[in-house]
Amino acid sequence: MQLATASASAGEPPRTEYTLGVFPYLSAATLEDVFAPIASQLGRTIGRPVHLATTLNYDAFGVKLRAGEYEIAYVQPFDYVAYAAPAGYVPVAASRNVIRAAIFVRDDSPIREAMDLRGKTLGLPARKAAVTYLARQELLLLGLAPGRDLVLRHFNSHQSCLQQARIGNVDACGTAHEIVRMFERQMKTRFRAIRELPPIPPSVFVVRGDVPERERLAIRTTLVSGDLPGIPSEARDLFGGEVVQGRTRYFRDVDDREYDVIRAYLRRLGENP
């Protein structure tokens, strides 16, 4: 018995379509909730399908970014500097929030400050995540050497890191404030920051260099104008949404020079962008 037959893509010749790649800083489901409406709106704007894609980890995302598999990408500042810009991607819009990260512990944790992490386990997102870069530099400044004074454990996403801290598998988690607020609402729990990390420029939408100028401008206009229906409320925290003239604007214009600070970080960490 045939229960249902419905396939829009199976068997059909592929149409000329774009892919919006998003770096895997959240779970795939969360990324889909937040970025699928954006991809849809971008597709309507430029008149061709824009599909959402991500990867299992930062390394894979970096590989694909370098390979230029995404026509459009949302990348964290270190990946922009390390992979996107060298691959010819052009920044078109950035989150209105700078990335403000910290080291968090559970609200009931006895750990009061960063130095209490000695002998503890600190959870972090992927090795290539922006927060990981910031946390490693901060530990360096505090004189806490990973592997000697504390143990570092990396997780695929910020949410995974927070979940491990919540259940006690790690003693603290380094992540962004906006992600902690979203996690606290979802999981009905409370975290406490024990060490603020220095803010860095926000994650950024980039467009591959061969995308026609007209489409690139249309993409920029769409993102900056704030005409992005369907984005869930969580995105306001993620992107620092701001209501301007009756529209919630999540993104703003961006300039490559804003990311020179990132390039400096990388140089300090010994990684030449």
Partner 1 sequence: MTLALRHRIAAAVTALQAVLIIGVLWLLHALAQGAIDRQMEAKAQALVQTVGEVSRAALLRGEYDDLQPYVERLTADPDVVRVRLADRRGVIVVSTLPAEVGERLLPPDPTAPGRYRTISEIRNVAGPLGSLAIELSDAALRGAYERTRDLALALAVLGILAGGAFGILTGRLLTRRLEALADATQQLAKGNFDVSLPTHGSDEVAALSRLFNHMTQSLRSHIESLRRSEEQLRTAQRMEAMGRLAGGVAHDFNNLLTVIQGHCDIGLLEVEAMPDVREDLLAIRQAGESAAALTRQLLAFSRRQVLQPRVLNLNELVTGTEKMLRRVIGEDVRLVSRLQEQVWLVRADPGQAEQVVLNLVVNSRDAMPRGGTLTIETSNVVLDESYAQRHPGVHPGEYVLVAVSDTGEGMDAETLARCFEPFFTTKKEGRGTGLGLSTVLGIVQQSGGHVGAYSEPGRGSTFKVYFPRAADVVREEGPRVEPVPALPTGGTILVAEDSEGVRRLVRQILERRGFSVLEARSAEEALEAARRHPGPILLLLTDVVMPGINGREMAERLRAERPGLRVLYMSGYTEDAILAQGLLRGSIDFIEKPFTTFALERKVAEVLGRREPGGVDPPA
User: What CA–CA distance (Å, rounded) separates 87 from 177?
Assistant: 30
The answer to the question of residue 108 lying near partner 1 (CB under 8 A) is no
Choices 1-9, 123-131, 194-202, 212-220 (CB under 8 A): range interacting with partner 1: 1-9
Size of the site for partner 1 (CB under 8 A): 35
User: Which is nearer to partner 1, 59 or 113 (by Cβ)?
Assistant: 59
45, 51, 144, 166: residue in contact with partner 1 (rule CB under 8 A): 51
Helices 158-167, 177-187: inter-axial angle, 10-degree rounding: 60
User: Considering only residues 227-246, where is the footprint of partner 1 by CB under 8 A?
Assistant: 230
**Residue 202 DSSP code:** P
25, 26, 31, 111: residue in contact with partner 1 (rule CB under 8 A): 31
Q: How far is the CB of 110 from partner 1 (least distance, A)?
A: 36
- Which CA distances in Å does 73 have to 104, 206, 227, 248? 29, 5, 18, 21
Q: Are strands 242-244 and 90-95 parallel, antiparallel or unpaired?
A: unpaired
User: What CA–CA distance (Å, rounded) separates 108 from 86?
Assistant: 44
User: Which is nearer to partner 1, 137 or 160 (by Cβ)?
Assistant: 160
The answer to the question of residue 129 lying near partner 1 (CB under 8 A) is no
Q: How far is the CB of 148 from partner 1 (least distance, A)?
A: 34
Name the β-bridge partners of 248.
Answer: 243
Choices 53-61, 97-105, 115-123, 204-212 (CB under 8 A): range interacting with partner 1: 53-61
Residue at token pair 């824009």: 50
Query: Going by C-beta distance under 8 Å and a sequence separation of 6 or more, which residues neighbour residue 4?
Result: none
SS3 148: coil
Binding marks (x or -) toward partner 1, 3..22, rule CB under 8 A? xxxxxxxxxx-x-----x--
Query: Going by C-beta distance under 8 Å and a sequence separation of 6 or more, which residues neighbour residue 96?
Result: 202, 239, 240, 241, 242, 249, 250, 251, 252
23, 24, 79, 131: residue in contact with partner 1 (rule CB under 8 A): 24
The answer to the question of residue 39 lying near partner 1 (CB under 8 A) is yes
User: What CA–CA distance (Å, rounded) separates 146 from 21?
Assistant: 32
Q: How far is the CB of 93 from partner 1 (least distance, A)?
A: 18
Amino acid (1-letter code) at residue 159: Q
Q: How far is the CB of 43 from partner 1 (least distance, A)?
A: 7
23, 25, 26, 50: residue in contact with partner 1 (rule CB under 8 A): 50
User: Which is nearer to partner 1, 117 or 206 (by Cβ)?
Assistant: 206
The answer to the question of residue 55 lying near partner 1 (CB under 8 A) is yes
User: Which is nearer to partner 1, 31 or 200 (by Cβ)?
Assistant: 31
Q: Are strands 121-124 and 151-154 parallel, antiparallel or unpaired?
A: parallel
Residue at token pair 């992540």: 175
Binding residues for partner 1, per CB under 8 A? 1-12, 14, 20, 24, 27-29, 31-32, 36-37, 39-40, 43, 49-56, 60, 230
